[in-house]
Structure 1
Amino acid sequence: MHTAASLLALASTASASLMGFNYGSTFTTGAAKVQSDFEAEFTTAANLKGTSGFTSARLYTTVQAGTASDPISAIPAAIKTNTTLLLGLWASGGDTSFANEILALKAAIQQYGDAFTSIVDGISVGSEDLYRNSPEGIEAGSYVGTNPDTLARYIKDTKDAITGTGLEGAPIGHVDTWTAWVNGSNQAVVDACDWVGMDAYPYFQNTMANDITESKSLFEEALQKTQSASGGKAVWITETGHPVSGDTVGQSVASPENAETYWKTVGCPMFGQMNVWWYTLQDAAPDTPSPSFGIVGSTLSTTPLFDLSCKNVQTNSSSSATSPSATSGSGSGSASASSGASATGSNQNSGGSPGGVPSAQISIQESATVTPSAVSPYATGTGSGSGAGSYGSGSGSSTNGTFTAPSASASATSTIPVGDAADLRSGGFGAAFIAIMVAIFAL
């Protein structure tokens, strides 16, 4: 069972949005990373110029590379550097391999105790196993994946393994491509999960227009589709990014400039609003793969290859407040887009939620009857409303989902998802996708 310290840590991670990177267990040479290597990576991530708060690490395995079932050395490195962990249990190696993952997890709990269990953000059982087991993944040349029934069993096995330990109650989920989540044949995994981890790479979506200018809408569509398929369970962004070098895929060009654009248009709006593990801090270690997604090069440095600041970047949700005592407000509006069937949607924003104004504690109700675009599942519109608080009250206006309560000096912005804007479109990842997936696990 949880100690007071571990319960406090779980409560803290549950109430805050996590930010971090993905970390492989080996270098590109196949050499195993040791504790000092993970410490260097975690310290670099936490001190990247232009950012703050990237202090969570997503792992693909809990087994130390080169061993059968020893706990990965990323664990003591995380403890030493105050880094939290999204643990990964590799699920595509068969029952014996997965049993070793459970052995490593139990050994880590026994060896490190509360120092370990208190920094666990969650546990991911598997990584893109459903995609690699799908016709699309097989056609792309993927290595073996895992079927949904096996994954659901592994999730149950993991929950059983941590019962009565310091990790009891830790949220357990699975990570896969967004195209796997919208496949109804994988429902058993959705049902077994506490949360759903989404991997999305517009760069690889070469069966549709995927120029960098389309990346934001492609990502938003993938997220909306995954949220619709998740049955109301939390969706965590476990992998996304744009390469700094590599081949052009469709219309998507790999370059530092486009990687920066993707960071600012896709990443910045999510940071601090939902759990995000970016791909990736460094993958050119020491050799540079193609494509390469690392925001630092072959030498670890707190100076990234492109600007990571989110200043003056328009986000899906923003807030400002000069009055900490404002308490309520409401507004309504209507919206329309160019094509598609009409639908009605509503969004409730409150302090602390995406689109809310935490410091002002303003609660905003927006509703709209919209005609969604065939390109984006989001709609915009205008309306009016009023708000009140202890610093005064007054009327305001709503534009593009933005409600402003002038007398409270606060504003909040949100997008209104209104359901399917177009038929589900294939991810179209192709052979290039599996190349990077193989590289991920090899890191």
Structure 2
Amino acid sequence: MNRLLYPLVASALITIAPFLITFENGQDIVRGIFGYSEFALLLLFVWVKVGACHPERSVKREVEGSRAVKVLRIAAMGIIVVAMLVVAFMDLSNLLAIKGWDMSWRAVVPVATCGLAVTMMWKIPAFSFPTINLIVFVSLVFHLAAYNFYPAQPVAQFPVVEYLARTAPKPVERKVLREEFKAKYAVMDTAIVTPGFLDTTRSNVLVLVESWGIPLDNQAFDAELQIFRDVGFAEGKDSDGFGRMQVGVHSRMYSRTRTAEREDLVYSLRRDSVTRRRDTTFTPNVLAGLGYETYFFVGLDSAVQWRHKYIRNIGFKNVNWGTGCKDECIVQKMDSVLNATAVGLSYDSAGGDSTQARKVFAAWTTTESKFPLKDVDPYRISMADLEVLYPAAIEKTLKRVADLARKHPEVRFIVQGDHEPILSPLPFQERFYKRWTPYVVLN
């Protein structure tokens, strides 16, 4: 029992002493009872000093007596002591960083406590190496189990983890919108915004723009919105809604196109109070029940994002796939649908006869700005190239949408981004807010 008690007490000494010399009345600092790293290093120190060789074997005795092994053992012990000192200094610096104090004379404390700990362990019998592994593992499990029951007092302290977390480079805050941004644009902290903008008195078009996120640079976002203004849209322009533009941002649950596509098509969510099962009603099904013709457009194969498994099931009667049909081709098809409705006809994607005029609900997922960008090697693209190619792709897509919406002022357009450019290189991703996307409502 003493063999285990001594390293526990020694590691507790190294951990508690810095806490005591920095203690102030009223402070709220949660600390473990013993240092986990120091505890493991002390067990290893004794094993290297005493138990690395087994004297009961004659061959081992010969090896133990060799000068080379003694030198290696002394060197290993020195490395362990230095590692212990480094951990102790990390622990002290973590506390001083919280207080905002300098190290100064307090640097003596880690040296003194580590020296006392080594002295305490000098004549303690060693555990075998497998036993040390077991003790360290059980200690970690015990700490985690106890922490679940009583988090106010952890059993172990992990100074190395705390030090790395404190000193590691802090990424740009991307999940929280800046105050000046929230003051300028409407912010909705929900993934489902489409139902609030639907107009059931006329046709509606839902556009999901691939990889359209919100830049951290407000001017870059305003430049994207200028594309709509340049074709005649403005916030609160006309009382009847024609030429009017409403801009805002909303959150996403995940940075995935498939999830965003489904979120935008959700009409309502209900959870059974007994079974807790979720019942989802989708917009295409609801509008189809109101007499709408429903269309889905995407210039990709039906297997991409597994759309073939759910697009028709959620209410789309007319589905237009096409690996050879890019965004400009999709715009022409949608224009035909809206033109046919405007002149008293309904468009049949299979080329059938015209029927009585009906309102239309069309959903289009764009592909122009999909990563990897077309004709570009995703593994060799430079930041300089991305700064040109990505805005150009977004601009081209938004210009197509703006022109189509301006051509059909009788149709409500709801334009949203699916996610930030999540498949771009990490330095480029960090220029955008995470899981926040824009929406623009036209007409």
What TM-score results when the alignment is normalised by the length of structure 2? 0.24
Report which of the two has the higher share of strand.
1
What TM-score results when the alignment is normalised by the length of structure 1? 0.24
With a CA cutoff of 8 Å and minimum separation of 6, indicate the structure with the bigger relative contact order: 2
Report which of the two has the higher share of helix.
2
